[in-house]
Amino acid sequence: MNWLRLSAIALLVLFLGQLNRWTVFDKLFFILLGLLVVSFVWSRLSLRGLTVTRRTATDRAQVGDLLVERVRVENASRFAKLWVEVLDHSELPGHRLSRVIHLGVRDAANWKAQTWCARRGRFRLGPMTIASSDPFGLFPTRLVVPYIQELVVYPATVDLSGFRLAHGELVGGSALQRRTPFVTPNAAGVRQYLPGDSFNRIAWSATARTGQLMVKEFELDPSTDIWVVLDMEQRHHVWAVPEGGARRPVGSESPPLSFWLDSTEEYVVTIAASLARHFLDQNRNVGLIANAHQPVIIPADRGTRQMVKILELLAVLRADGQRPLAEVLLSEAGSLTRHSTAVVITPSTDESWVRGLVELSTRHARCLAVIVEPSTFGGAESSLFVVSDLAAVGVPTYLVKHGDDIARALTGQGRGAGVTAVSR
């Protein structure tokens, strides 16, 4: 430490002064001693009276969103702060909030950090450390601001309005005999109003006829439930081979596609989030299955709440699973009925999982595969044989390559989309 060295020098000067009786050493000793005392007091006052405030507009964001965080450091003391270093320990990639400021008496400093959210996940904003010292840097001092806020960054979603299921929207037949709290085209009857019933379900004609407030009851429509199956087995996922490095977003630029879609894992998650949003916007029941390290099953449901559940999961889902996709498809086959459509998203080149789709087909469940081609990410194997097997059993298949526009690839318009839509 600098103050220890200076103290040692002062003691040496004192010793020489006593040894030689030179007044210059005595004066120098008192100067050094006064310097140590003044610096110590200055250092202890350098962080007194400081108030740090940080604010963000939201604790939820999506890849591609701009996060704005504002910081205010206020000096309420009667002493100016020569310099104050604000160090931020946030985990959000590219979030630069640290800086060095000067504060006068009763002064305040305000600034903001704008960060493009380029990675999905759960990140910690904070804590912060404020540091200062005396003018000579002898007694540095630090103070931890323990405030921590959690930020969840959802995966990006792309517009898939042009995407259509190859088997059609309906499976045919009459409405399923199950009551639902959602409004569907199939009105099953009326009942007396209960507290909590939505006003848009009131049957005014029945209310006028009976003299009591009546509401409509609905049954599930005959459209299929959509099950999005993500293959998160670790051994099949690869990272893209960088070509000159991904360009980081700067200034007002949004992160480029190549910055965050840099692995089969990110493609699989982004496609899953986009398909879930697409079908939920159509008021369809959507469920999700993933063979991650901890098996994940989100029961099929509809509405905004279901979308939030799926995004919350996909934000932190990682390709760390050990369970093969074929085993997952066979074990979950009982959950999928003739009123279900399984959309499998995988980079796997293992042909064994195709048999799982065949098993689902024997149960009259509809199947569709989206293959993220691993060889275009630098992987050693190609999915050509898997695509051929899927075509042979009549499973519609979409092939997405690294650098493809996901929306165009899933509508058969992207370069090398490799779509095989074979109807059974």
Give residue for tokens 């840097």: 137
CA–centroid distance for 1 within its chain: 43
Q: Is residue 173 exposed (0-12), middle (13-18) or buried (19+ Cβ within 10 Å)? A: exposed
> What pLDDT is stored for residue 419 in this prediction?
44
Within 10 angstroms of residue 368's Cβ, the number of other Cβ atoms is 22
**What is the spatial distance between Cα 175 and Cα 87, in angstroms, rounded to a whole number?**
61
**What is the spatial distance between Cα 360 and Cα 342, in angstroms, rounded to a whole number?**
8
Which among 157, 21, 151 is positioned nearest to 97, based on CA atoms?
151
Bridge partners of residue 239, in order along the sequence: 263
Which among 422, 421, 390 is positioned nearest to 163, based on CA atoms?
421
> What pLDDT is stored for residue 313 in this prediction?
96
Per-residue pLDDT tens listing for the chain (424 residues): 577 777 888 787 777 777 777 778 888 888 888 889 998 999 999 999 999 999 998 999 999 899 999 999 999 999 999 899 999 999 998 899 999 999 999 999 999 999 999 899 999 999 999 999 998 888 899 999 999 999 999 999 999 988 887 544 444 444 445 555 656 555 668 888 888 787 778 888 888 888 888 888 766 555 678 999 999 999 999 988 654 444 555 555 666 666 778 899 999 999 999 999 999 998 889 999 999 998 899 999 889 999 999 999 999 999 999 999 999 998 876 777 777 899 999 999 999 999 888 888 887 788 999 999 999 998 778 889 999 999 999 899 999 999 898 999 998 754 444 444 333 3
Which among 20, 108, 44 is positioned nearest to 70, based on CA atoms?
108
> What pLDDT is stored for residue 417 in this prediction?
43
Out of 3.10.20.310, 3.90.79.10, 3.40.50.300, 2.60.40.10, select the CATH number for domain 50-154: 2.60.40.10
**What is the spatial distance between Cα 286 and Cα 281, in angstroms, rounded to a whole number?**
10
Out of 1.10.630.10, 3.40.50.1110, 3.40.50.410, 3.40.50.2300, select the CATH number for domain 225-409: 3.40.50.410
> What pLDDT is stored for residue 56 in this prediction?
93
> What pLDDT is stored for residue 161 in this prediction?
87
**Ramachandran category for residue 39: left, alpha or beta (phi over 0 → left; psi -120 to 50 → alpha):** alpha
**What is the spatial distance between Cα 230 and Cα 293, in angstroms, rounded to a whole number?**
12
> What pLDDT is stored for residue 1 in this prediction?
58
Which among 406, 379, 114, 413 is positioned nearest to 257, based on CA atoms?
406
Q: Which residues contact 151 (CB under 8 A, 6 or more apart)?
A: 56, 59, 60, 61, 67, 92, 122, 123, 124, 125
Report strand pairing: 66-75 vs 108-116: antiparallel
